[in-house]
Amino acid sequence: MLAVVCTILIGALPIGAQDWPTKPIEVVVGYAPGGGTDMVARAIADVAAKYVGQPLVVNNKPGATGIIGSQYVYSAKPDGYTLLVAGGSETVSVPHFKSLPFDPITDFDPVIRIMVERIGFYVRTDSPWKTIKDFIADAKQNPDKYTYATSGVGGLHHATVLVTEKRTGIRLTHVPHKGGAETLVALAGGHVNVAMASPNEAYALVQGGRVRCLAITALERSPTEPNAPTMRELGYDVYIDNQKGFVYPKGVPQPIRQKLHDAVKKAYDDPQFKASADKLKLELSYLNGDDFRKALKNMYDQIGDSVKK
């Protein structure tokens, strides 16, 4: 009788769930090679392969602020062999600016968060504003006067400023660019007053004495920008993180999701990955799938509230 029950239970699992993985796993990055999302994907994939038992092959599908990659994974067969590096603009901000054929929160199952990319308010070194409070006070007196650069309309950096505007009462003028590197070039060249960037993106210009960070929007200070206070430290209710982790299209069996989580967590703890992350200035921050989902929903709702202002 027991053998019959076991046979029924095993047979109830989707085909392939018992012996997954039997072939390489596609890791989709919705951005071009060389960016922060691509760097963390390749760093973790290289190490995770030995714990998963199959290669994790990174496939870049850039375009539409990450949405092309997201739609590709959404449409993929939920067999555990196609996953997405998600948690940033494509998940929590872009969906508030355009209609999509999928829901970025409910149509995907988070597996593991690997890192957060903190977001900072950067100004030129010779800027008259010494603190973010100086800037906000000035901006309140001069609505729409000051410009800020981001990597594009609807992206997470753009959304961060919308949240800041709503919760501080300032109004700024948006100057969108095509990527994080362009925003910092615009700032260093004096073409905008402020640039939204991650500490790892701005690291070289900060070290070169050309720009400085007024504040970051994370819950904790950045190891890369330890002297920059958080907005919440200063009394501003602004908290936005650019999270990065693995998600599956909805429907992948839970045993497969758990196997992937456990293997990637071993890679996350591996000294080889830690060394790569340190070299790349990646700010690691682990969450399991359930907590990652909650964190994404928090960001999604916070941005949605500000976009509807």
Using alpha carbons, list the distances in angstroms from residue 96 to 100, 174, 301: 9, 17, 10
pLDDT averaged over every residue in the chain: 92
Instruction: Locate 230 and state its tokens.
Output: 């958080």
- With 60 as the cut, is the pLDDT of residue 1 above it? no
The whole-angstrom distance between residue 19's C-alpha and the CA centroid of its chain comes to 31
- With 90 as the cut, is the pLDDT of residue 132 above it? yes
* Letter string b/e over residues 2-14, b meaning 16 or more CB atoms within 10 A of that residue's CB: eeeeeeeeeeeee
pTM, rounded to two decimals: 0.84
pLDDT, mean of residues 151-160:
90
pLDDT digits (tens, 9 = 90+) for 72-127: 999 999 999 999 999 999 999 999 988 999 999 999 999 999 999 899 999 999 99
* Letter string b/e over residues 74-104, b meaning 16 or more CB atoms within 10 A of that residue's CB: bebebbbbbbbbbbbbbbbbbbbbeebebeb
pLDDT at 5: 47
CA distance 222 to 201: 13
pLDDT at 13: 52
pLDDT, mean of residues 49-66:
94
- With 80 as the cut, is the pLDDT of residue 63 above it? yes
pLDDT above 70 coverage of the chain, percent: 94
Helix, strand, coil shares of the chain, percent, nearest 5, are: 40, 20, 35
Nearest partner of 224 among 179, 274, 182, 278, judged by Cα: 278
Map out the domains of the chain with their CATH numbers: 24-117+242-307 (3.40.190.150), 120-216 (3.40.190.10)
Instruction: Locate 53 and state its tokens.
Output: 């038992």
pLDDT, mean of residues 190-209:
94
pLDDT digits (tens, 9 = 90+) for 234-251: 999 998 989 999 999 999
β partners of residue 244: 115
pLDDT, mean of residues 168-175:
97
pLDDT digits (tens, 9 = 90+) for 181-197: 889 999 999 999 999 99
Using alpha carbons, list the distances in angstroms from residue 289 to 28, 93, 204, 264: 18, 20, 33, 12
CA distance 114 to 212: 27
Sequence-separated (6 or more) residues with CB below 8 Å from residue 162? 303, 306, 307, 309
pLDDT at 32: 83
Using alpha carbons, list the distances in angstroms from residue 210 to 30, 36, 187: 30, 22, 9
pLDDT digits (tens, 9 = 90+) for 13-47: 555 578 999 999 999 999 888 778 898 999 999 99
pLDDT at 309: 56
β partners of residue 249: 108
Sequence-separated (6 or more) residues with CB below 8 Å from residue 55? 24, 25, 49
pLDDT at 200: 84
Nearest partner of 178 among 299, 295, 32, judged by Cα: 32
pLDDT digits (tens, 9 = 90+) for 249-284: 999 999 999 999 999 999 999 999 999 999 988 889
Instruction: Locate 292 and state its tokens.
Output: 């990652």
Length of the chain measured in residues: 309
Tell me phi and psi for residue 226, to 5 degrees.
Answer: -65, -20
